[in-house]
Structure 1
Amino acid sequence: MSGRRITLAIASDLQNVPLIGQTIQRLCSLVPLSDIESHQIALCVVEAVNNAIVHAYSREAEHEVEVVFAQYSDRLIVQICDAGRTMDATRLAPQTASPLDFDPGCLERIPERGLGLAIIRNTMDEVTYTTSCGKNTLTLTRLLKPCQSTQERLKE
């Protein structure tokens, strides 16, 4: 499967995360995705990079977070890589109750944390996590619809 790919790297400082978000959104705009889909994917990547910085590196700023963006004819794959603490892989397992299922009218029940992985799982078609030789990789996959004309996409 032939594709196009670019690798981005930032220091593990939360101030650098908007650079990744803006770049991923721009890269997604080059793929047959709507503006909303591009924004959703960029949000997922930002959430994943934030998690790497906060949880894998405990907010220590002297580490590196790598983001690999790969576009294929039928899918978009984004990998977020770090060399920090590993994530409990069961956090990606399907849950009976999603933290996204809440009553927005009841302010005291709106979750303040822990929504990132739920957003990622609900937005992406496939989410996997691996650790090998000290490198943690969260892989986000979004399947692409067959190429449509601009007019057809605007109707959706």
Structure 2
Amino acid sequence: MRTYFCLPGAWMGAWSWQFVLQRLRAAGHEARAHCFPGVGERAAELAPQLDNDAFLADTLATLEREDLREIVLVGHSFGSLIAGLVADRMPERVAHLVIIDGGIPQDGQSIFGRIPPHIAAKRRTLVKRLHDTEVLPFAPVGSL
């Protein structure tokens, strides 16, 4: 049996994996989902200094603290970016890397470098507009 460690997409929490985790556990695997600080179950940790480096550091610290090894690391969408970085930083802990609906940028490439320029421009404008906006977390599926 394997240990699955799942990283959610942007603005999602560990709750977004609940149905997948149930199926993996029913098949006899250990399965966990991580939640990045500032979103989902950890929305109270939202802070201006949160960035990809903070999400990476948080994920690495979790793997170390829980002594997870030989994991199947699963990244969905934005989580695939962090999953790729985790696999690069801790290859001794990652047995397999699974990317779902995402991608891993090359060194020095931002996520904006992977999408058409006109879409990147629209997203940059949106980010500037939302800079001073309070972001409300999604409600976990079970609470709906």
Q: Which structure has more strand as a fraction of its residues?
A: 1
Q: Same fold (TM over 0.5)?
A: no
- Structure having the larger proportion of residues in helix: 2
TM-score where L is the length of structure 2: 0.28
